[in-house]
Structure 1
Amino acid sequence: MEQVLCCCKVYISESRNKAALDAIEMAAKLYPEAPIVNKFEDVPYNRVGYTLVSKMGPDPNSTSPLKNAVFKMVEAAFQEIDLGRHCGSHPRLGVVDHICFHPLLGVSLDHVAGIAKSLAADVGSRLQVATFLYGAAHYEGRLLDSLRRQLGYFKPNATGNQWAGGPESETLPLSPDEGPPHAVHRKGIVVIGATRWVDNYNVPIFSNDMVTVQRIARRVSGRGGGLQSVQSAALAHGKGIIEVACNLLDTSKVGGNEVQVEVDRLARKEGLDVGVGYYTDLSQDKIIECYLKQLSS
């Protein structure tokens, strides 16, 4: 019988508070049918990404271990982390900055979009946090980068290209899809979506010249006339390093190797040295392999 698998990536604005991360991970373990198969911590960004996988039932509206596990993680994150005390060099809109569901095997995008919408309804009503939908989970299919721009995601609010503290105002520029019509200072807001598979690939550039690296990042991206299906941003990543952080929306067309070559080419023109890029998660195939190994053990 064919496996029917769905994946969820959960990005939380914290990597330095071990007690908080332990509590979040313990919450997920209440649903062993939806295990965490990968965890990626980034201290300069003060951000952690979790990848969970679960089998899916035929009805997206039925009880989903994956949705329940993610909800418990979100609930724990809000209990353990105060956005008002957070600081890091990665943009974020809330304690739980971003959640995305992806079909893996034998399941449709519409199916996982149903789970995303169900989770958003629970987060909005039960946790009272403004929640925004994107991708297949949104009725107009709006794009993540477009939503983030409208919400002011890419504008640092502290010196040194840092994001610090909670939202400056409770007023939101858009009406949320679920939850109260305002932001909560301690929690921020949540963005939840459903899309085809996305890889994240970051390339370090050894420089403190943010303007120049921003120009490189723009030229790498499809929006800037570069690699189609690539979204990119320049983010400070420790002393003397700025990363070109990329979302690869269609890995069958453009992968990390192509991004690496293009960043190298553009950086050489600017006289800058480039390091070896890296993925922030396992590949789609590797995630499936890790899940099946956990299941068999």
Structure 2
Amino acid sequence: MRQIMKPVIQCAINFSEGRNSKIVKSIVDAAQSVPEAVVADYSADADHNRMVLTILGGPKPIQNAVLAAARTAVELIDLASHKGGHPRIGAVDVVPLVPVQGITMQECVATALNLAQNVAETLSLPVYLYENAALSNKHKQLPNLRRGGFERLMAEGLAGDMAPDLGPHRVHPTAGAVVIGARGPLVAYNVNLDSA
């Protein structure tokens, strides 16, 4: 008998907060409150002032968990006073969806598009779609969107190449903008150097 695999998406959502443990906990708790979404891990880095929250689940639970965590982040994070060593354009900075099992990349793209629409509508955030979900080649690569950071968006506005794919065409004054997409697995690591 052939076993049917339950669809699982991994989302390693990046938030622009790594120093305030109460805010970090509130964001994690919001994601954990969603049934059928599993918070697999989270890590916060004070130097980068950034947190990565890894969530696993099917398309609907992933969307609900991201929305819950994003809503909390938008309420609690103020990018106008944010300082950190990592490029960022949003309080909820990057939301990558990765197919793990029982789901195709195209289905992840559809999930990303639906999530992006919900984020734009419910949180009034400008949304850029990147990687496999990109609607424009100009937005496909994450570094192109992050160049100059939140400060550039505030100074130059959201016109031309930086016009968002969805949501308002103005930068949220405290939460910036968000990048959402679908991509393959990514392995990232930090190396500490002793240069003394």
Q: TM-score, normalised by structure 2?
A: 0.88
Does structure 1 conserve the Cα–Cα contact (< 8 Å) formed by 2:34 and 2:65? Answer: yes
Distance 1:206 1:94 in 2: 31
1:39 match: 42
Among 160, 175, 189, the alignment partner of 2:177 is 189
1:232 match: none
Deviations 1:235-271 (A, max 9, x none): xxxxx7xxxxxxxxxxxxxxxxxxxxxxxxxxxxxxx
Give the length in aligned residue pairs. Answer: 190
1:132-171 alignment runs, 5 A limit:
132-140=128-136, 143-145=140-142, 148-149=143-144, 151=145, 153-155=146-148, 167-169=153-155, 171=157
Does structure 2 conserve the Cα–Cα contact (< 8 Å) formed by 1:124 and 1:130? Answer: yes
Does structure 1 conserve the Cα–Cα contact (< 8 Å) formed by 2:133 and 2:182? Answer: yes
Distance 1:129 1:176 in 2: 9
2:57 match: 54
Deviations 1:78-126 (A, max 9, x none): 0011111111011110111100000001210010111111111011111
| Residues 1:94 and 2:97 aligned together | no
Q: CA deviation at 1:143?
A: 2.9
The residue type paired with residue 130 of structure 2 is Y
| Residues 1:18 and 2:21 aligned together | yes
Query: Which entry has the higher C-alpha Rg, 1 or 2?
Result: 1
The residue type paired with residue 23 of structure 1 is S
Pick the structure with more helix per residue: 2
2:187 match: 199
SS in 2 for 1:3: coil
Deviations 1:61-93 (A, max 9, x none): xxx011011111000100011111111011110
Among 102, 123, 126, the alignment partner of 1:127 is 123
Does structure 2 conserve the Cα–Cα contact (< 8 Å) formed by 1:100 and 1:195? Answer: yes
* Consecutive unaligned residues in structure 1, runs of 5 or more: 57-63, 157-162, 208-239, 241-297
Aligned CA distance change for structure 1 residues 143 and 167 (closer, same or farther; 3 Å): closer
Structure with more contact order per residue of length (Cα contacts < 8 Å, sep ≥ 6): 2
Distance 2:26 2:153 in 1: 24
Distance 1:70 1:170 in 2: 28
Q: Considering only aligned residues, what root-mean-square deviation do their CA atoms show, in Å?
A: 2.2
* Consecutive unaligned residues in structure 2, runs of 5 or more: none
Q: TM-score, normalised by structure 1?
A: 0.59
1:3 match: 6
Q: CA deviation at 1:205?
A: 3.8
Distance 1:85 1:66 in 2: 29
Deviations 1:114-170 (A, max 9, x none): 11111110111111110000122123565333xx32x4x2447xxxxxx8x795336
Distance 1:169 1:184 in 2: 13
Q: Percent identity between the aligned chains?
A: 31
Deviates more, 1:118-127 or 1:26-35: 26-35
Distance 2:31 2:152 in 1: 25
Distance 1:108 1:191 in 2: 21
SS in 2 for 1:185: coil
